[in-house]
Amino acid sequence: MKRTSNILIVAALAGGAFLASCGNKGPHHRNPGKIYVPDMYESRAYEFYSARLASMKPVEGTVKRGAMLPYHLKAEDTAQANLVRNPLVLDKAGLDEGKRLYDIYCGVCHGQKLDGNGPLYKGGDGPYPLAPAAMLTGKVMGYSEGRIFHVITYGFNAMGSYASQLDIEQRWKVVGYIKNMQNGGKAPAAAAPAADSATAAAPAVAAAH
Ligand code: HEC
């Protein structure tokens, strides 16, 4: 009899201790005691968009690392544009990229043969009503690299600007490709002068060795 009650008492105490430990569990876990260097346990909250830490526009005039300097001439500055030289020295890969971009962005109108007769025009039968300029005959033959770059940047009459589709480096690659084709696929030693400016000096685009 006595033995049984002892067992019951022990069982009751053990059960109580167990329940008590359950009750302590929460607070115990929330308070892990002292922390050495708390920043290493709990990282500081980083709120995007708060305190203007992120998503800020770069300072005006910022040039992305590796990007080319911006083109400052205005649409009407054609005389200066004639004098601008291609800052890129294009190797075969550069010219190939120029051709790829030309075929995508210019070829539909100006033709992949650069004859001014792309699928949109089709000798007048296409949906595009205006004759695009030929690149290998006529006045564009006399255009300097800078002038062609200027036309791509600002458009010309009915032709729109391609500045939003092609960044500066891509535009110069297209120009390099056109100039290279004007020279029969060879790197021009000295390119033709611009037709409308006696002062224009069109530079050579070096091709691959
Ligand atoms: C949607 C058709 C179209 C596309 C695409 C197009 N052009 Fe043109 N482009 C024209 C037309 C049309 C003209 C003739 C405009 C005129 O003489 O009034 C022209 C004229 C030109 C001229 C001669 C400008 C001048 O001073 O007479 C050049 C150079 C030229 N384009 C280059 C390009 C290049 C490079 C691209 C690709 C980046 C391109 N074009 C894309 C339609 C197009």
Distance CA 157, CA 21 (A): 85
Q: Inform me whether the pLDDT recorded for 114 exceeds 90.
A: yes
CATH number of 78-182: 1.10.760.10
- Quick: pLDDT tens for 186-208: 765 544 444 444 333 434 444 43
| Domain boundaries along the sequence of the chain | 78-182
Q: Confidence band (pLDDT; 50, 70, 90) for 46?
A: low
Atom of ligand 1 nearest to the CA of 148: 29
Average pLDDT over residues 104-122: 96
For 136, residues 6+ apart whose C-beta sits below 8 A from its C-beta are 113, 114, 115, 181, 182
Residue of minimum CA distance from atom 31 in ligand 1:
133
Distance CA 169, CA 86 (A): 10
pTM summary value = 0.70
- Quick: pLDDT tens for 54-110: 667 888 889 989 889 999 999 999 999 999 999 999 999 999 999 999 999 999 999
Distance CA 76, CA 102 (A): 24
**pLDDT at position 190:** 47
The CA 99 to ligand 1 mean position distance, Å, reads 16
The CA 71 to ligand 1 mean position distance, Å, reads 19
